[in-house]
């Protein structure tokens, strides 16, 4: 059973979440590019430094590229010098789902879209960034779409 929890809650819930947007893998493949599909649906990672969103200063809202759910605001983005767009909080706790991730020989917290379950990236805590939450949502830019204000 997956260990899943909505952002901002603890301890982790052991219940399996139901998503509002559900599609077959064939439907996802037809709607997403191969690179988007790899990151969003297969929990892949884009190359560090490859996203134009990492340093983009445009004011707006970042939405899930797969389903359009608004996830992060530009005001919560900061330069973490990590190679991916970094945010210190999601737009709202129910916009993202957090899962225990023990792949690659380490313990991490995966971030998924709370509406469609697509992989977005990982969240890290206690790194000492001067942000209100001391969290770094390290998000694949390819999983986002910026809606400028």
Q: What is the CA radius of gyration of the chain?
A: 14
Angstrom distance (rounded) from CA 58 to CA 55: 9
Angstrom distance (rounded) from CA 142 to CA 45: 9
DSSP structural state of residue 92: S
> Taking the CA of residue 113 as centre, how many other CA atoms within 13 Å lie in the half-sphere pointing to its CB?
28
Angstrom distance (rounded) from CA 144 to CA 141: 5
- How many of the other CB atoms lie within 10 Å of CB of 61? 17
Q: Is 138 a catalytic residue?
A: yes
Which residue is catalytic, options 64, 113, 116, 138?
138
Q: Which residues carry out catalysis?
A: 138
């Amino acid at each position: 059973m997956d260990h899943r929890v909505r952002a901002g809650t603890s301890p982790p819930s052991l219940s399996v979440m139901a998503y509002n947007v559900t599609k077959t893998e064939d439907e996802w493949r037809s709607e997403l590019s191969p690179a988007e599909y790899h990151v969003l649906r297969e929990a892949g990672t884009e190359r560090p430094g490859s996203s134009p969103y990492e340093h983009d200063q445009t004011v707006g809202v970042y939405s899930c590229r797969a389903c359009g759910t608004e996830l992060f605001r530009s005001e919560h983005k900061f330069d973490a010098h990590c190679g991916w767009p970094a945010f210190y909080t999601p737009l709202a706790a129910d916009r993202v789902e957090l899962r225990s991730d023990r792949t690659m020989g380490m313990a991490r917290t995966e971030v998924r879209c709370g509406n469609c379950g697509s992989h977005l990236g990982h969240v890290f805590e206690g790194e000492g960034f001067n942000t209100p939450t001391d969290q770094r949502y390290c998000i694949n830019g390819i999983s986002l779409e910026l809606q400028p204000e």
